[in-house]
Amino acid sequence: MRGRIYERRSDLSPDGHYMIYFAMNGRWHGPAKGSWTAISRAPYLKAVTLLPKGDCWNGGGLFTSHDRFWLNDGYCHAAAHDRNEVRRDTEFQPDGGVGNECLGVYFPRLLRDGWALTSRPTNRTPGPFVFEKPFARGWSLRKRAYASFPTRQGTGCYWDEHDLVHHRREIVTAFPDWEWAEVDGKRLVWAQGGMLHCGNVNASGLAEPGVLIDLNSMEFEPIAAPY
């Protein structure tokens, strides 16, 4: 595929077997209508369910079980191909979505995965949406989710920044270069500089950081899905 995958409108099934994603290649007269929602067998992109869209409003979705998904529909989705490996959940209603673009899926995904919304922008106090997730030893991971212009260099209108916060001791340590971060059991994991990192915390903050994988040397290789 040559196009843009909207990662904030995408999701993995709880067992990691399936992926739902929204993508755009701008070929508006093609079979996928230039933008589409697809469900594939992770980590491949080949659709077992293909839902052409034709524009970039809504799209994507969330898994509600191993084999059921909520479609961020709005309008226009119509199945062009469906192996019936997964089923659409028409009763699920996501909480916390904002607007008809990425935040309509991204924010419900954060809330589902244990993040708490602690602050939102207003006309009087512009700024990011702020989410937090408790970690260990009194520390929390804070995610500042921006949805505005002007943007940071190298980002679109949606981007995140992260802090480590100890509310009781009034400590805030900013990590502006973390592009993504999450609590993974008893450790933190984050993406920075083309690498996936991990680390723990002690009384002073981040400790024992290490690199899980360096992806900078990877080059594109077309790999056909084995299905």
What is the predicted pLDDT for the residue at 76?
86
User: Residues 176-225: pLDDT tens digits?
Assistant: 999 999 999 889 999 999 999 999 999 899 999 999 999 999 998 999 99
Q: Global pTM?
A: 0.94
- Which of 39-53, 55-69, 137-151 comes out lowest in average pLDDT? 137-151
Report how far residue 175's alpha carbon sits from residue 162's, in angstroms, rounded to the nearest whole number: 6
What is the predicted pLDDT for the residue at 178?
96
SS3 labels along 109-163: HHHHCCCEEEECCCCCCCCCEEEEEECCCCCEEEEEEEECCCCCCCCCCEEEEEE
Q: Is 128 within 8 Å of 161 (Cβ atoms)?
A: yes
Helix (H, G, I), strand (E, B) or coil at 65: coil
pLDDT band at 52 (very low <50, low <70, confident <90, very high): very high
Is residue 151 predicted with pLDDT exceeding 80? no
User: Residues 169-183: pLDDT tens digits?
Assistant: 999 999 999 999 999
Instruction: Determine the distance from the C-alpha atom of residue 172 to the mean position of all C-alpha atoms in its chain, rounded to a whole number.
Output: 24
What is the predicted pLDDT for the residue at 98?
94
Report how far residue 45's alpha carbon sits from residue 37's, in angstroms, rounded to the nearest whole number: 11
